Structure 1
């Protein structure tokens, strides 16, 4: 479903210094697999998800998503792939404040030319918010907003769901509920899931948990360089 080979990404600091962020020799996500990546905030996990989603371009290496090599696709083709194959759950929710819960879902479908109110309503019911369909995000609790965000990410039945610290703003009870809903819906519709988190409690709920510092070789390589100076 997703394969990564020798992926590298750097950014330039304001002073013009090249700052390596990622070097991932190999990563693979199978169809319907659910994987959690654990690592500290600011360590490049969000950058990794943005690369997988085609929002950012790699400096080197290959990313294959559902058989498509991202570096061979134009920006518009990457946008199409992302809209059709990938659902994204943001830590800050990124709901459209001027629209109701139901409209947030139907607008997400419209990107793919769909307009299925029944599907959107069924998803709101699945996340326990059918009675909030006409509420706007600012009329919801934090936990409710995150559940709407999960529903929106899944409304197009994506093959892949990328979840960036989806429980980072939630208390333990809402964390468990939202995580349970996310994993259950992915399993129900056969979506692969990559979730990144700094919270060991979240990682422990996954059969496959990966230490970000083991996957991303940048820190180790920087340490080797430092040791030789």
Structure 2
């Protein structure tokens, strides 16, 4: 997007199509490299501070960044050069639908005081909430069980589900409707005793609900994975 918009900007400045394309690729290089280097710094932090799957994600992310930058300035430029030699266009093609009229100018710097103030207020609020309320970690970080069920007949009764699961004494339980009215997502907090305890909880839930609900999906996130 940066490259193509830069090319159009150069064309509006009066350059020829070939000059606009060449200048557009050249001037967009610094911005694209700078933004992706910032992302690479994050991947380095993830790689050295993370463990297991987190390191794998960091490596995959880094490879994606490098290949994206490489293809943008080699393969994409090659394709544009081939198109230039074959089509010999005198003007850059335009999309059939334009959402922003040509020549539109938005005074971003004119409203900078309002935007800076709003941004600062939201940043301060985020820090205050982080220090006072804290982060509500999900099962992916705390560990636990994720169970997806579907009512066999009629809509799912969330109040009834909560009452029945509370009676099982399995700790923190969250019941949430999603998709259709008969689909329910059940989250059960991590259990003391490792994966065997997690499986015992799932068996209890299945025994309690299997007469009225079909079990569509069951996932268990153990303490090892959540720690990583």
TM-score scaled to structure 1, two decimals?
0.24
Does 1 or 2 have the higher relative contact order (CA < 8 Å, sep 6+)? Answer: 1
Identify the structure with the greater strand proportion: 1
- Decide which structure has the larger Cα Rg and report it: 2
The structure with the largest helix share of the pair is 2
